[in-house]
Amino acid sequence: MKKDIDLLKKRNRRRRDVMEKVGSTGLALSGLIGLMFLSVLVWQIAIPTFIEGETGEVSPASEFIPVSEYILKWDHPTVDDNGDLIGDEVVLRLTWDDNGAERTHDVAITVTSERNLREDIVVNESGVSTDAVTVGKKTKFYVQSSLTVPVEIEQLTGPVPAADETGSPAVSSFVISADVDVLVSEGELVSHPFALVAWVVLLVSIVLLSYPVTPLLKGMESLIGRQRMLRFGSYGLGVLTLLAGAFSLEAYLGAACWVVSAVGMNRMLEGMERLRSQGRDITQFDRLKHSITNREGVLLWARMLLVFSALFIPLLVDIPFLTERYQDIFQPYASGIRSAFFGTIWVMGIAMVVSMPVSIGAAIYLEEYAAPTGMTKLIQALVTNLAGVPSIVFGMFGLAVFVKQGGIGMGLGPSILAAGFTMGVMAMPIIVLASQEALRSVPSSIRESAYGVGCTQWQVTRDHVLPSAMPGIMTGSILAMSRIMGEAAPLVVVGAAALVLFDPEPLAGITGGNLNFTVIPIQIYFWTSEPEHAWHSMAAAASISLILLLATMNSVAILLRQHFRKRLNP
């Protein structure tokens, strides 16, 4: 006879297997839903924006609507002033069902430079009214049908409707186009030579810290003891790069490359010096990497800087949709999200600066210092409730405190600064809760061990608890930023505009200037409200850009989490 404990084990095992299958199935479904969402966005961009010919269908007429219409229009003439054909002739094919037999008819269209010249095409039981029509550029004309069956329209040859004089699409055959130049663009270097050299030096320092080459290590041995000279020399080159590059973005990145390279080389030389003082061979990398102070941290920041600066120093990545085109309220495919893109970057940057130090400090106080009194419990309850407050409420708070003048208002106006403060306040409860959970996950034995060797409470928190909790803190903070990046409601209340045709000014709320700004979610909402499908394609392209920006931030969170975990478990 089986014991009850055996039956209990089998029952628990079956329950565990069922839960594991449900969990794995749920994850798979979530992944498929995410892929389907991305596929729909890509489809929305690709299909309408690969501008092909004129295609469509004239709906059948009814007793209430005796004639159905299809609107046509070409932007540019297909003949010159002498009547000679420019490019291919425009030919439309009309197809419909005539008592069970398919019937087709081709119509040639000539577009002249004269405007308001209109000639409609009529389809009835007898057939098509004409084989050729002449119309003016940018003039609407119609295919009119009185048939009780639909008429399909297909363009066989000729320029597409939204085209330039050569018959090519007016802007691009795809919404998001990119052009990449390596080192040289139109016969000139893509950035200043000092910045290029700085990027190469950073690359070499990363290679040496990761996979040192014995001959190079032997050559670096002569620099041991000269770390100070090397450091100040790199600082001088950084300043020279800034001056030569006229304080451009490439110059700042080049200066940062010099500084980070100097830090990495100095740490490596210090490690080599420690090995040599112990009488060991400096080419023994297994020993050398443990002698380099905070090697993993230096490599993390150096690699991140290398990847980010590669987009501006050795490469010239030109994406007009992001960095050149402003909104165009008349031409969808000539529009872009430049002002919204930079507005999003500034709002998120200000929100991070405002929220992360305050929130992490509050979490440390509540978990490590505050006594469990009634007041502390009340504060904890308020923080927990604030994390669930609708975002529109935070927008009202920002309007009263940061935008309005008088009373408790700071009078910043509908500016980027007010938007950044509002989004920072919105992120604070989320970061506080995430940081508290990360601090609670640190075992009490770490604290007790640190107190046992005579550490003060601040030393325990700073040197033992905080490093252990840092993976969770950084991940929670950046994910909170990612969440609020897609919020539009608070920014609408604060005063984000739907149409901005200039670059945002982050300090305009203090210094004056153009206060108006916009962000990518507002831009998407503005475009989706337009009736034309072309604007919906632009909205899908902006959605893809927002998703890529979110993926970039989440990737940074993953890198930071892995780095801090590696430090805890070397």
CA 117 to chain centre: 46
Lowest average pLDDT, out of 77-86, 275-284, 520-529, goes to 275-284
pLDDT band at 168; cut points 50, 70, 90: very low
pLDDT over 70 at 570, yes or no: no
Token pair, residue 101, equals 């037999």
Average pLDDT over residues 117-132: 92
> Under 8 Å CB-to-CB from 524, ≥6 apart: which residues?
539, 542, 543, 546
Q: Is pTM, for the whole model, over 0.95?
A: no
Contact 202, 261 (CB under 8 A): yes
Under the banding of pLDDT at 50, 70 and 90, the label for residue 425 is very high
With bands split at pLDDT 50, 70 and 90, how would you rate the model's confidence at 568? Answer: low
Q: Beta strands of 233-355 (E only): which ranges?
A: 315-318
Please write the tens of the pLDDT for every residue from 102-112.
999 999 999 99
Query: At residue 264, does pLDDT exceed 90?
Result: no
> What pLDDT does residue 283 have?
67
Residue-level pLDDT at 36: 83
Q: Which of 41-50, 466-475, 541-550, 557-566 has the lowest mean pLDDT?
A: 41-50
**Confidence class for position 100, pLDDT limits 50, 70, 90:** confident
- Of the chain, the percentage scoring pLDDT greater than 90 comes to 21
pLDDT of residue 6: 58
Q: Does 553 score more than 60 pLDDT?
A: yes
Residue with more model confidence, 281 or 182: 182
CA distance 477 to 380: 18
Provide the β-strand partners of residue 132: 108
pLDDT of residue 315: 85
What CA–CA distance (Å, rounded) separates 481 from 473?
12
Q: Which alpha helices (H) appear in 50-100, and where do they start and end?
A: none
pLDDT band for position 567 (cuts 50, 70, 90) = low
Q: What is the pLDDT of residues 473-519, one digit of tens each?
A: 888 888 888 888 888 889 989 988 888 888 888 888 888 778 889 99
The per-residue pLDDT for 323 is 81
- The predicted structure's pLDDT at residue 173: 47
Q: How many CB atoms lie within 10 A of CB 232?
A: 11
CATH number of 322-568: 1.10.3720.10
Split at pLDDT 50, 70, 90, the class of 96 is: very high
More confident residue, 299 or 8: 299
pLDDT score of 11: 61
Radius of gyration of the chain (CA): 32
Tell me the pLDDT of the chain averaged across its residues: 83
Helix (H) or strand (E) holding 409: strand 409-410
68 contacts 149 by C-beta, under 8 angstroms: no
What is the pLDDT, as a whole number, of residue 569?
Answer: 61
Q: Phi and psi dihedrals of 383, rounded to 5?
A: -65, -45
